[in-house]
Amino acid sequence: MSAASTPLNPFLSRTAASARWLPMLLFAALVTLWAYNYVVMKQTLQATTPITHLILRTTLGSLTLFGVLLARGRAIRLQRLAQAAQVGLSTTCLYSLSITLALVAGAAGRTSVLVFTMPFWVALLSRWLLAEPFGRRSRQALLAGFGGLMLIVAPWQWRGGVLPMLLAVLAGFFWALGSVLSKRATRCGQLDSLNFSAWQALIGLLPILALWPWADFAHIHWSGAFVLGLLYAGVLSSAVGWLVWLWLLKRLPASTLSFNALVIPLLAVAMAALQLGEWPLARELAGMLLVGVGIVLIARR
């Protein structure tokens, strides 16, 4: 019995190891994808109006998800209208609208940091909606992360331009709400993640299309960079990124996943500095270090 089972052990070990590493690898890819999206959106928003950009980007994301759904031969019938509507309105509609308007006047790096008040909202909403624990390490991570964000944002130095910052924080809240509602949906019996993602994107797109009269498609400054950037933001970041995020939410606690996602604004700030010249101050670097401490604390929870 032992001899017969021995050849299978290395295979089983490799399978178990890959199962452990796959979420981390996908998370690392998602973090990089979403961090660079702030730079891409900031650049592509200069070629058109915010509402036009929002409609194009969210339409691309919705079409991509339904295209994948059809290509894989999955059931297209809507499974859970109420839950899909809740997630779609909070994530696809309100989050997308808030972050688009925030990036119009706000710096890409600064906006990304403010959006990532999201993990703090998730920690609070998860305790209320998901009954997830909020222990000592979570509180320590919350304090470290909040202190780091305050150093980066420096509200005591604000000189006008408060609206883009408030919109970025609001985007973080709507993203958190959508994530927690998605997590709750996965707990209510069997859920086809691809079907759910496609329908929430379509439902969230409908109120965005109501903004069509304020769009200006005739005066888009078309270029290869704009098209590639739009595909990046609409297909990769919105559609593919959302599928990966939902897959991770099914396997990890929402609060843990969102706190570890705090690495995204750190990368976004670095990318914005290199590509857009938005170099952080010493105070902001200290804030990033504190955010990193919060990530380590929540990861060891």
* 288 neighbors 113 (Cβ within 8 angstroms): no
Domain assignment present for 4: no
Q: What is the pLDDT of residue 16?
A: 52
CA gap 144, 150 in Å, rounded: 10
CA dist., res. 179 & res. 184, Å (int): 9
Type of residue found at 119: P
d(CA 140, CA 150): 15
Full domain range(s) for residue 244: 27-299
For the stretch 166-169, contacts whose Cβ atoms lie closer than 8 Å and that sit 24 or more positions apart, written own/partner, are 167/98, 167/99, 167/101, 167/102, 167/106, 168/98, 168/99, 168/102, 168/106, 168/110, 168/111, 168/114, 168/115, 169/114, 169/115, 169/117
Q: Is residue 14 part of a domain?
A: no
**Does residue 106 lie in a domain region?**
yes
Q: Note the pTM of the prediction, 2 decimals.
A: 0.80
Domain count, the chain: 1
**pLDDT (0 to 100) of residue 95:** 95
Cβ neighbourhood burial of 192 (10 Å; 0-12, 13-18, 19+) = middle
Alpha helices by DSSP H, listed for the chain, are 2-5, 8-44, 50-71, 81-87, 96-105, 108-115, 118-129, 136-153, 162-186, 193-209, 224-231, 241-249, 254-260, 263-276, 282-299
Question: Which sign, positive or negative, has the C-alpha torsion 235, 65, 251, 126?
Answer: positive
Torsion of CA 122, 127, 133, 136, to 10 degrees: 70
Q: Which of 119, 141, 133, 124 is nearest to 297 (CA)?
A: 141
pLDDT at 15: 52
Phi, psi of 131, deg, nearest 5: 60, 35
| Amino acid residing at 196 | F
| 91 lies in some domain | yes
270 domain residue, yes or no = yes
In-domain check, residue 20: no
Give the pLDDT confidence score for residue 40 in this predicted structure: 94
Q: What is the pLDDT of residue 4?
A: 47
Low-confidence ranges of the chain (pLDDT < 70): 1-20, 131-134, 153, 155-161, 189, 254-256, 258-260, 262, 292, 295-301
* pLDDT at residue 5 in the model: 46
